[in-house]
Structure 1
Amino acid sequence: MSSVLKRYVTDPARHLEAVFRDIERTRMAGLPILNTALTVEAIGFTPWQGHWLGALITPWFLNLVLVPGAQGEWPHAAEGERIVRRLPAGDCNFYGCFEPVIGEFHASSLCSPMSRFADQAAARAEALYRLDAWLAEPPPAEPAATDATDGERRAFLRRMIPAGER
Protein backbone atom coordinates (compact mmCIF):
# COMPACT_ATOMS: atom_id res chain seq x y z
CA MET A 1 0.00 0.00 0.00
CA SER A 2 1.22 3.48 -0.80
CA SER A 3 2.19 5.71 2.10
CA VAL A 4 0.92 8.76 0.20
CA LEU A 5 -2.55 9.75 1.33
CA LYS A 6 -4.71 11.28 -1.39
CA ARG A 7 -7.13 13.86 -0.08
CA TYR A 8 -10.25 14.99 -1.89
CA VAL A 9 -11.37 18.61 -1.74
CA THR A 10 -14.50 17.80 -3.78
CA ASP A 11 -16.90 14.85 -3.97
CA PRO A 12 -14.87 11.73 -4.90
CA ALA A 13 -17.84 9.92 -6.53
CA ARG A 14 -16.62 10.18 -10.15
CA HIS A 15 -13.17 8.82 -9.16
CA LEU A 16 -14.72 5.86 -7.35
CA GLU A 17 -17.04 5.13 -10.27
CA ALA A 18 -14.20 5.20 -12.82
CA VAL A 19 -12.00 2.87 -10.77
CA PHE A 20 -14.76 0.38 -9.95
CA ARG A 21 -16.03 0.32 -13.54
CA ASP A 22 -12.50 -0.62 -14.54
CA ILE A 23 -12.43 -3.32 -11.84
CA GLU A 24 -15.74 -4.66 -13.16
CA ARG A 25 -14.31 -4.88 -16.71
CA THR A 26 -11.03 -6.48 -15.63
CA ARG A 27 -10.79 -8.25 -12.26
CA MET A 28 -14.49 -9.11 -11.99
CA ALA A 29 -15.16 -9.90 -15.68
CA GLY A 30 -17.20 -13.06 -16.12
CA LEU A 31 -17.57 -13.92 -12.44
CA PRO A 32 -20.97 -15.41 -11.56
CA ILE A 33 -21.27 -13.17 -8.48
CA LEU A 34 -22.03 -10.14 -10.72
CA ASN A 35 -25.63 -8.96 -10.89
CA THR A 36 -25.81 -7.82 -14.53
CA ALA A 37 -28.90 -5.69 -13.79
CA LEU A 38 -26.68 -3.34 -11.78
CA THR A 39 -24.02 -0.80 -12.63
CA VAL A 40 -21.32 0.96 -10.62
CA GLU A 41 -22.66 4.08 -8.91
CA ALA A 42 -21.24 6.21 -6.09
CA ILE A 43 -24.06 8.11 -4.41
CA GLY A 44 -24.87 10.30 -1.46
CA PHE A 45 -21.34 11.47 -0.76
CA THR A 46 -21.39 14.18 1.83
CA PRO A 47 -18.74 15.88 3.95
CA TRP A 48 -18.39 14.12 7.29
CA GLN A 49 -15.78 15.09 9.90
CA GLY A 50 -13.50 16.54 7.22
CA HIS A 51 -13.86 13.49 4.94
CA TRP A 52 -16.35 12.15 2.37
CA LEU A 53 -18.92 9.53 3.38
CA GLY A 54 -21.26 7.88 0.89
CA ALA A 55 -22.38 4.62 -0.64
CA LEU A 56 -20.83 2.65 -3.49
CA ILE A 57 -23.02 0.30 -5.51
CA THR A 58 -21.35 -2.27 -7.74
CA PRO A 59 -22.76 -5.41 -9.37
CA TRP A 60 -21.01 -7.40 -6.62
CA PHE A 61 -21.35 -5.30 -3.45
CA LEU A 62 -22.92 -2.33 -1.71
CA ASN A 63 -20.52 -0.58 0.66
CA LEU A 64 -20.49 2.44 2.88
CA VAL A 65 -17.30 4.26 1.85
CA LEU A 66 -15.20 6.86 3.64
CA VAL A 67 -12.64 8.74 1.53
CA PRO A 68 -10.10 11.20 2.97
CA GLY A 69 -11.21 14.79 2.70
CA ALA A 70 -9.10 17.91 2.69
CA GLN A 71 -9.38 18.25 6.47
CA GLY A 72 -9.51 16.00 9.47
CA GLU A 73 -7.25 13.37 10.94
CA TRP A 74 -7.17 10.20 8.86
CA PRO A 75 -6.42 7.00 10.78
CA HIS A 76 -4.35 4.70 8.58
CA ALA A 77 -5.68 1.15 8.19
CA ALA A 78 -3.77 -1.47 6.20
CA GLU A 79 -5.72 -3.31 3.50
CA GLY A 80 -8.20 -5.59 5.23
CA GLU A 81 -7.51 -4.15 8.69
CA ARG A 82 -10.65 -3.39 10.68
CA ILE A 83 -11.13 0.11 11.98
CA VAL A 84 -14.14 1.20 14.00
CA ARG A 85 -15.51 4.63 13.14
CA ARG A 86 -18.10 6.36 15.30
CA LEU A 87 -20.96 7.47 13.05
CA PRO A 88 -24.01 9.37 14.34
CA ALA A 89 -26.03 6.12 14.65
CA GLY A 90 -23.21 4.27 16.44
CA ASP A 91 -19.96 2.39 15.89
CA CYS A 92 -19.44 1.04 12.38
CA ASN A 93 -16.79 -1.48 11.30
CA PHE A 94 -14.82 -0.30 8.30
CA TYR A 95 -11.89 -2.01 6.61
CA GLY A 96 -8.80 -0.47 5.12
CA CYS A 97 -8.82 -0.44 1.30
CA PHE A 98 -6.42 0.83 -1.34
CA GLU A 99 -6.69 1.42 -5.07
CA PRO A 100 -3.80 3.23 -6.78
CA VAL A 101 -6.01 5.82 -8.51
CA ILE A 102 -8.09 6.55 -5.39
CA GLY A 103 -5.53 5.98 -2.67
CA GLU A 104 -6.43 4.76 0.78
CA PHE A 105 -10.08 4.64 1.79
CA HIS A 106 -12.26 2.78 4.28
CA ALA A 107 -15.23 0.58 3.36
CA SER A 108 -17.99 -1.12 5.32
CA SER A 109 -19.97 -3.88 3.65
CA LEU A 110 -23.71 -3.30 3.59
CA CYS A 111 -24.65 -6.09 1.17
CA SER A 112 -22.88 -8.78 -0.85
CA PRO A 113 -23.65 -10.49 -3.13
CA MET A 114 -26.15 -8.23 -4.87
CA SER A 115 -28.49 -10.91 -6.24
CA ARG A 116 -31.44 -9.67 -4.15
CA PHE A 117 -31.75 -6.47 -6.23
CA ALA A 118 -33.89 -6.61 -9.38
CA ASP A 119 -32.58 -3.32 -10.75
CA GLN A 120 -30.45 -0.24 -10.14
CA ALA A 121 -33.36 1.70 -8.63
CA ALA A 122 -33.78 -0.94 -5.90
CA ALA A 123 -30.05 -0.96 -5.13
CA ARG A 124 -29.98 2.84 -5.06
CA ALA A 125 -32.97 3.00 -2.70
CA GLU A 126 -31.29 0.52 -0.33
CA ALA A 127 -27.99 2.41 -0.48
CA LEU A 128 -29.60 5.74 0.37
CA TYR A 129 -31.75 4.18 3.10
CA ARG A 130 -28.72 2.56 4.76
CA LEU A 131 -26.59 5.71 4.40
CA ASP A 132 -29.35 7.83 5.95
CA ALA A 133 -29.72 5.30 8.78
CA TRP A 134 -26.00 5.51 9.65
CA LEU A 135 -26.07 9.31 9.53
CA ALA A 136 -29.20 9.63 11.70
CA GLU A 137 -28.81 10.44 15.36
CA PRO A 138 -30.39 7.70 17.49
CA PRO A 139 -33.59 8.69 19.29
CA PRO A 140 -33.14 9.61 22.94
CA ALA A 141 -33.39 6.64 25.29
CA GLU A 142 -36.58 6.22 27.28
CA PRO A 143 -36.02 7.15 30.91
CA ALA A 144 -35.75 4.09 33.14
CA ALA A 145 -38.31 3.53 35.85
CA THR A 146 -37.05 5.04 39.07
CA ASP A 147 -37.04 3.51 42.51
CA ALA A 148 -39.53 6.20 43.52
CA THR A 149 -42.04 4.83 40.99
CA ASP A 150 -41.52 1.29 42.28
CA GLY A 151 -41.86 2.55 45.82
CA GLU A 152 -45.13 4.30 44.97
CA ARG A 153 -46.48 1.07 43.50
CA ARG A 154 -45.55 -0.88 46.63
CA ALA A 155 -47.19 1.73 48.87
CA PHE A 156 -50.36 1.61 46.76
CA LEU A 157 -50.49 -2.19 46.98
CA ARG A 158 -49.90 -2.09 50.75
CA ARG A 159 -52.92 0.22 51.14
CA MET A 160 -55.04 -2.15 49.04
CA ILE A 161 -54.16 -5.34 51.00
CA PRO A 162 -55.33 -5.40 54.61
CA ALA A 163 -52.49 -5.51 57.16
CA GLY A 164 -53.43 -8.96 58.42
CA GLU A 165 -53.18 -10.51 54.93
CA ARG A 166 -49.69 -9.20 54.08
Structure 2
Amino acid sequence: MFHHEDPSALIEATFRRIETERMTGLPFLNPRLRIAAVGFARHENDWRGALLTPWGIQLLLLPAVADWPVPSPLERAFRQYPAGTFAFLPNHEEGLGDYLACPLISDMQPFADQETALATARACLIALDIPPVRSEAQPAAPVSDGRRRFLGLDG
Protein backbone atom coordinates (compact mmCIF):
# COMPACT_ATOMS: atom_id res chain seq x y z
CA MET A 1 0.00 0.00 0.00
CA PHE A 2 1.36 3.42 -0.93
CA HIS A 3 -0.01 6.88 -0.28
CA HIS A 4 -0.97 9.18 -3.16
CA GLU A 5 -1.71 12.06 -0.78
CA ASP A 6 -0.46 13.36 2.56
CA PRO A 7 -0.95 10.48 5.04
CA SER A 8 -1.11 12.70 8.15
CA ALA A 9 -4.77 12.05 9.01
CA LEU A 10 -4.31 8.30 8.61
CA ILE A 11 -1.15 8.36 10.76
CA GLU A 12 -2.92 10.28 13.53
CA ALA A 13 -5.93 7.93 13.50
CA THR A 14 -3.68 4.85 13.59
CA PHE A 15 -1.58 6.12 16.48
CA ARG A 16 -4.62 7.28 18.47
CA ARG A 17 -5.86 3.70 18.17
CA ILE A 18 -2.44 2.42 19.31
CA GLU A 19 -2.51 4.83 22.25
CA THR A 20 -5.97 3.61 23.31
CA GLU A 21 -5.37 -0.11 22.74
CA ARG A 22 -1.72 -0.56 23.76
CA MET A 23 -0.44 2.43 25.68
CA THR A 24 -3.16 3.44 28.16
CA GLY A 25 -1.89 3.71 31.72
CA LEU A 26 1.81 3.34 30.98
CA PRO A 27 3.85 5.48 33.39
CA PHE A 28 6.18 7.02 30.79
CA LEU A 29 3.36 8.74 28.86
CA ASN A 30 3.16 12.52 29.13
CA PRO A 31 -0.55 13.27 29.72
CA ARG A 32 -0.08 16.86 28.48
CA LEU A 33 0.65 15.66 24.93
CA ARG A 34 -1.56 14.46 22.08
CA ILE A 35 -0.86 12.51 18.89
CA ALA A 36 0.14 14.74 15.95
CA ALA A 37 1.56 14.09 12.49
CA VAL A 38 3.90 17.02 11.87
CA GLY A 39 5.19 18.39 8.57
CA PHE A 40 4.55 15.44 6.28
CA ALA A 41 5.78 16.19 2.77
CA ARG A 42 6.89 14.17 -0.22
CA HIS A 43 10.66 13.60 -0.43
CA GLU A 44 11.55 11.50 -3.47
CA ASN A 45 9.79 8.13 -2.93
CA ASP A 46 8.90 8.79 0.72
CA TRP A 47 6.36 10.77 2.68
CA ARG A 48 8.56 12.19 5.44
CA GLY A 49 7.45 13.80 8.68
CA ALA A 50 7.58 13.65 12.45
CA LEU A 51 5.16 11.78 14.67
CA LEU A 52 4.55 13.35 18.05
CA THR A 53 3.06 11.03 20.68
CA PRO A 54 2.88 11.15 24.49
CA TRP A 55 5.68 8.55 24.46
CA GLY A 56 8.09 10.00 21.89
CA ILE A 57 8.93 11.87 18.72
CA GLN A 58 9.83 9.75 15.72
CA LEU A 59 10.84 10.49 12.19
CA LEU A 60 8.47 8.48 9.95
CA LEU A 61 8.76 7.52 6.30
CA LEU A 62 5.80 6.10 4.40
CA PRO A 63 5.70 4.89 0.80
CA ALA A 64 4.82 7.41 -1.88
CA VAL A 65 5.35 4.90 -4.72
CA ALA A 66 4.11 1.36 -5.38
CA ASP A 67 7.55 -0.28 -5.53
CA TRP A 68 8.77 1.16 -2.21
CA PRO A 69 11.31 -1.28 -0.75
CA VAL A 70 10.49 -2.60 2.70
CA PRO A 71 13.35 -4.16 4.67
CA SER A 72 12.79 -7.45 6.44
CA PRO A 73 11.88 -7.30 10.15
CA LEU A 74 14.76 -6.09 12.33
CA GLU A 75 16.75 -5.03 9.25
CA ARG A 76 17.54 -1.35 9.32
CA ALA A 77 17.04 0.96 6.36
CA PHE A 78 19.29 3.99 6.03
CA ARG A 79 18.47 7.38 4.57
CA GLN A 80 20.98 10.12 3.89
CA TYR A 81 19.99 13.71 4.61
CA PRO A 82 22.18 16.83 4.74
CA ALA A 83 22.40 16.44 8.55
CA GLY A 84 23.73 12.86 8.24
CA THR A 85 22.68 9.25 7.85
CA PHE A 86 19.66 8.04 9.81
CA ALA A 87 18.72 4.42 10.59
CA PHE A 88 15.07 3.36 10.40
CA LEU A 89 13.31 0.17 11.47
CA PRO A 90 10.43 -1.24 9.44
CA ASN A 91 6.95 -1.37 10.93
CA HIS A 92 3.48 -2.30 9.76
CA GLU A 93 0.12 -1.27 11.19
CA GLU A 94 -3.27 -2.35 9.95
CA GLY A 95 -4.92 0.51 8.11
CA LEU A 96 -1.64 2.39 7.67
CA GLY A 97 0.50 -0.25 6.00
CA ASP A 98 4.28 -0.33 5.94
CA TYR A 99 6.37 2.51 7.31
CA LEU A 100 9.87 3.19 8.59
CA ALA A 101 10.50 4.77 12.00
CA CYS A 102 13.55 6.47 13.48
CA PRO A 103 13.19 7.45 17.16
CA LEU A 104 14.35 11.00 17.80
CA ILE A 105 13.20 11.72 21.38
CA SER A 106 12.05 9.01 23.77
CA ASP A 107 11.60 10.90 27.06
CA MET A 108 8.59 13.19 26.68
CA GLN A 109 8.25 14.08 30.38
CA PRO A 110 10.23 17.35 30.05
CA PHE A 111 7.64 18.79 27.65
CA ALA A 112 5.30 21.14 29.51
CA ASP A 113 2.74 21.46 26.72
CA GLN A 114 1.68 20.42 23.22
CA GLU A 115 2.94 23.64 21.60
CA THR A 116 6.50 23.10 22.84
CA ALA A 117 6.48 19.47 21.68
CA LEU A 118 5.12 20.51 18.25
CA ALA A 119 7.81 23.18 17.91
CA THR A 120 10.46 20.57 18.77
CA ALA A 121 9.11 18.13 16.16
CA ARG A 122 9.16 20.91 13.54
CA ALA A 123 12.72 21.84 14.53
CA CYS A 124 13.79 18.20 14.13
CA LEU A 125 12.46 18.20 10.56
CA ILE A 126 14.21 21.47 9.73
CA ALA A 127 17.48 20.18 11.20
CA LEU A 128 17.44 17.15 8.87
CA ASP A 129 18.06 19.40 5.90
CA ILE A 130 20.88 21.44 7.45
CA PRO A 131 24.40 20.10 6.97
CA PRO A 132 26.66 20.11 10.03
CA VAL A 133 28.73 23.27 10.42
CA ARG A 134 32.42 22.66 10.00
CA SER A 135 34.60 25.59 10.91
CA GLU A 136 37.92 25.95 9.10
CA ALA A 137 39.17 27.87 12.12
CA GLN A 138 38.91 24.83 14.36
CA PRO A 139 42.39 23.41 15.00
CA ALA A 140 43.03 19.78 14.19
CA ALA A 141 43.19 17.40 17.13
CA PRO A 142 46.74 17.10 18.40
CA VAL A 143 48.54 13.93 17.47
CA SER A 144 49.50 12.01 20.61
CA ASP A 145 52.93 10.40 20.99
CA GLY A 146 51.27 6.96 20.70
CA ARG A 147 49.55 7.99 17.47
CA ARG A 148 52.86 9.44 16.20
CA ARG A 149 54.63 6.12 16.79
CA PHE A 150 51.74 4.15 15.24
CA LEU A 151 51.78 6.38 12.16
CA GLY A 152 55.58 6.36 11.90
CA LEU A 153 55.84 10.11 12.46
CA ASP A 154 58.37 10.12 15.32
CA GLY A 155 61.50 10.23 13.29
Both structures adopt the same fold (TM-score exceeding 0.5)? yes
Q: Structure 1 runs of 4+ off > 3 angstroms?
A: 137-145
Q: Deviations over 1:63-83 (max 9, x none)?
A: 000110036x52312344321
**Over aligned residue pairs, what C-alpha RMSD do you find?**
2.1
Contact 1:78/1:97, CA 8 A, preserved across alignment: no
Q: Which runs of 5+ in 2 are unaligned?
A: 140-155
1:127 match: 121
**Would you say the 8 A contact 1:80–1:97 is kept in 2?**
no
1:83 to 77, 83, 90: 77
Pairing 1:7–2:13 present: no
1:45 corresponds to: 40
Deviation at 1:142, TM superposition (A): 4.0
Residue type of the partner of 2:82?
Answer: P
Q: Deviations over 1:11-38 (max 9, x none)?
A: 1110000000011111101111110000
- Work out the number of aligned pairs and report it: 139
Matches of 1:41 and 1:56, distance apart in 2: 6
Please show how residues 30-69 of structure 1 align to structure 2 within 5 Å: 30-69=25-64
Provide structure 1 residue ranges, at least 5 long, that are not aligned to the other structure: 1-5, 146-166
**Structure-1-length-normalised TM-score:** 0.76
Out of 35-44 and 95-104, give the one that drifted further.
95-104
